[in-house]
């Protein structure tokens, strides 16, 4: 059975939604489906058995697309729409699977071509407008809320990647079939780092025998990087051997945070390494004593948490809904989103190794039970069997 999937994303780039799209495709092809993906002309090539990629035409003046809403996405989305239209005109698809704002494309195209639509909801589109500082215009935000409601109500089935989004779907369309399928760790298939790799990385970052607090992810404003940096001096005052390693961020974002580190007088305590390839992440995880997620706002579960939980390292995270819909006090050190509380949590984990080990063990056990590839595959199979009607055939 062949599915047309529409993903208005750079595919593939090492960041949240593109990774989610990749794992959804991997799950579907593992289950025996074939996927034709319509996506941006940007991103690395991907080879998966059962996947064909159809890229929209390239625009010479757009080489990159930043995370979140942007004006650059408008012409790209238009080209993606017409590429999807062309595919549907050339080949008969019974099922269309869309991601993010492509849900609107799916709502329109499936009406025209008379096929079924599954909407993969990775975020609240109206919330994105303010989270990424795209606009504060109430009219534009209300318009996006109406668009999102239309997408959900017109879809035949919805997949939500976190509880908050599941609740949004149930509020906007109480009778809509919705399946909660959390993401899996993006590095699950990668081999663990060797001791030699970790030692080389420690030498490269001039860490000596320092204890390491690691952050991985984007440097968008809602990630709380500035809160984290402001907590460093408080930690250093009581724990001289603590060092912070921050992985991620565009060059301009890294430069901005390096400047803040200089102003705070903590440059010696912080290592900024920028964006790193996925295959290096096991070494960074092995290097860490504590994994940090200082996010200050938002409701979506950060993709990094799935990797954090599997790592066997204690997690320090802010006590906001973005985290607490997955984490509890039994699986992470949860603190208020302030520099003082981030420092307090870090010092508690550094001072009481038994507590850190207990949290890490609990987190790993929860990840193995709820967020493994096996569990992810089973949830996708159930959702798709219902969406395509195969569930009824199997039970008949």
What is the residue-wise DSSP string for 254-287? Answer: HHHHHHHHHHHT-GGGEEEEE---GGGHHHHHHH
Q: Is residue 395 part of a domain?
A: no
Cis omega (within 30 of 0) for bond into 233: no
pLDDT at residue 185, rounded to an integer: 67
| Residues 77 and 153 reside in one and the same domain | yes
Within-domain flag for 190: no
d(CA 38, CA 55): 6
Q: What was the pLDDT predicted at 270?
A: 98
Is 62 among the domain residues?
A: yes
Is the domain of 118 the same as that of 137? yes
Residues 238 and 325 in one domain: yes
Within a domain: residue 346? yes
CB-based contacts of 343: which residues, under 8 Å, 6+ apart? Answer: 231, 232, 234, 235
pLDDT at residue 279 in the model: 87
Q: Specify the pTM.
A: 0.84
Number of folded domains that form the chain: 2
CATH of residue 142's domain is: 3.40.50.2000
pLDDT of 16 reads: 81
Say if residue 315 is in the same domain as residue 276.
Answer: yes
Q: Residue 150 falls within a domain, yes or no? A: yes
Give the pLDDT of residue 131.
60
How far is residue 154's CA from residue 160's CA, in Å, rounded to a whole number? Answer: 15
At 284, give phi and psi (nearest 5°): -65, -40
CA dist 247 → 59, 283, 299, 360 (Å)? 30, 12, 22, 21
What is the spatial order of strands in the sheet that 211-216 belongs to?
Answer: 270-274, 242-247, 211-216, 290-293, 315-318, 333-335
Examine the domain organization and report whether 160 and 223 are in the same domain.
no
Residues 302 and 167 in one domain: no
One domain for residues 357 and 227: yes
Looking at the domain assignment, is residue 189 inside a domain? no
Both 297 and 278 in a single domain? yes
CA dihedral 120, 124, 126, 127 (to 10 degrees): -150
pLDDT of residue 125: 83
Residues 306 and 204 in one domain: yes
Q: What is the pLDDT of residue 303?
A: 86
- Domain of 289, in residue numbers: 195-370
Blockwise average pLDDT, block size 10, the chain, 396 residues: 96 87 96 97 92 96 84 93 97 96 96 97 80 69 90 97 94 95 76 93 95 95 96 96 96 97 97 92 96 92 91 97 95 98 98 97 94 92 92 56
Same structural domain, 204 and 177: no
């Amino acid at each position: 059975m062949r599915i047309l999937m529409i993903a208005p994303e750079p595919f593939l780039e090492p960041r949240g939604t593109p990774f989610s799209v990749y794992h959804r495709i991997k799950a579907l092809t593992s289950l025996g489906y074939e996927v034709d993906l319509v996506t941006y002309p940007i991103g690395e090539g991907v080879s998966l058995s059962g996947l064909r990629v159809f890229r929209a035409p390239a625009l010479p003046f757009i080489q990159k697309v930043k995370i979140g809403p942007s004006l650059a996405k408008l012409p790209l989305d238009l080209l993606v729409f017409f590429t999807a239209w062309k595919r549907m005109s050339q080949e008969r698809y019974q099922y269309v699977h869309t991601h993010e704002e492509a849900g609107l494309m799916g709502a329109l195209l499936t009406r025209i071509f008379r096929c079924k639509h599954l909407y993969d909801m990775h975020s609240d589109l109206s919330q994105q407008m303010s989270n990424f500082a795209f606009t504060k215009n109430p009219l534009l935000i209300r318009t996006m809320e109406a668009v999102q409601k239309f997408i959900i109500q017109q879809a035949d089935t919805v997949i939500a990647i976190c509880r908050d989004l599941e609740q949004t779907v149930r509020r906007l369309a109480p009778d809509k079939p919705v399946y909660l399928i959390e993401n899996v760790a993006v590095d699950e298939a990668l081999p663990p780092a060797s001791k030699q790799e970790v030692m080389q990385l420690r030498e490269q970052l001039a860490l000596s025998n320092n204890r390491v607090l690691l952050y991985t992810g984007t440097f968008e404003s809602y990630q709380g990087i500035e809160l984290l940096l402001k907590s460093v001096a408080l930690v250093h005052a009581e724990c001289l051997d603590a060092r912070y390693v921050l992985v991620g961020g565009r060059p301009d974002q890294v430069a901005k945070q390096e400047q803040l580190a200089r102003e705070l007088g903590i440059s010696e305590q912080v290592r900024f390494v920028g964006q790193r390839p996925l295959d290096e992440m096991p070494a960074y995880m092995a290097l860490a004593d504590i994994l940090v997620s200082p996010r200050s706002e938002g409701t979506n579960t950060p993709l990094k948490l799935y990797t954090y939980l599997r790592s066997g390292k204690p997690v320090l995270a802010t006590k906001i809904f973005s985290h607490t819909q997955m984490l509890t006090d039994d699986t992470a050190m949860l603190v208020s989103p302030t520099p003082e509380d981030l420092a307090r949590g870090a010092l508690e984990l550094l001072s009481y190794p038994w507590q850190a080990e207990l949290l890490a063990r609990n987190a790993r056990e929860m990840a193995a039970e709820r967020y493994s590839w096996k569990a992810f595959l089973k949830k996708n199979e159930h959702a798709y069997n219902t969406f395509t009607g195969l569930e009824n055939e199997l039970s008949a």
